[in-house]
């Protein structure tokens, strides 16, 4: 594996928003939000979090690593399922506190631990008359 990159500390607001230096802004918990989308279709696959090490490993290996909040450990996506996410492109938002990962998914192409293609398989429905909020299957 290549040496892991080291990230610079954020500079001025102008440098953060307009500069060329990647200075990811991790939250107080040491994490940054990452949204994975299918590189071909643009479909949203999943939302996860990265710490500095998982972000650095992703850049160094070209395969996506996350930080599992529930297990408190590094998570090489697909290491056990075969659903390896190969990084095609990484984008950062304007204030560098969120990432967009364009990926190709290996194995059976799924991403969700429920066995589905993506984690966003239900919609939220609100009935204004009754005030009920329910989950409904999302059309594929």
Which residues are within 8 A (CB) of 132 and not within 5 positions of it... i.e. 6 or more apart?
Answer: 126
94 is in an annotated binding site: yes
Which residues are within 8 A (CB) of 58 and not within 5 positions of it... i.e. 6 or more apart?
Answer: 50, 64, 65, 87, 90, 101
29 is in an annotated binding site: no
Query: Is residue 2's pLDDT more than 80?
Result: no
* pLDDT confidence of residue 53: 96
- Angle (nearest 5°) at CA 33 between 25 and 22: 35
* pLDDT confidence of residue 12: 86
97 is in an annotated binding site: yes
User: What is this structure's pTM?
Assistant: 0.88
Q: pLDDT for 83-94, tens place per residue?
A: 999 999 999 999
Q: What domains lie within the chain, and their CATH numbers?
A: 13-137 (3.10.20.810)
Q: pLDDT for 25-66, tens place per residue?
A: 999 999 999 999 999 999 999 999 999 999 999 999 999 999
């Amino acid at each position: 594996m290549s040496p892991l990159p080291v990230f610079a500390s954020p500079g001025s607001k102008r440098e953060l928003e307009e500069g060329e230096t990647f200075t990811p802004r991790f939250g107080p918990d040491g994490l940054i939000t990452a949204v994975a989308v299918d590189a071909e279709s643009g479909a949203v696959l999943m939302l996860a979090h990265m710490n500095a090490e998982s972000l650095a490993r992703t850049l160094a290996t070209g395969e996506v690593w996350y930080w599992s909040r529930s297990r408190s450990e590094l998570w090489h996506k697909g290491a056990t399922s075969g659903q390896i996410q190969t990084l095609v492109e990484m984008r950062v938002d304007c204030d560098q506190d969120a990432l967009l990962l364009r990926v190709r998914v290996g194995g059976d192409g799924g991403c969700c631990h429920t066995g589905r293609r993506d984690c966003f398989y239900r919609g939220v429905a609100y009935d204004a008359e009754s005030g009920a909020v329910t989950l409904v299957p999302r059309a594929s």
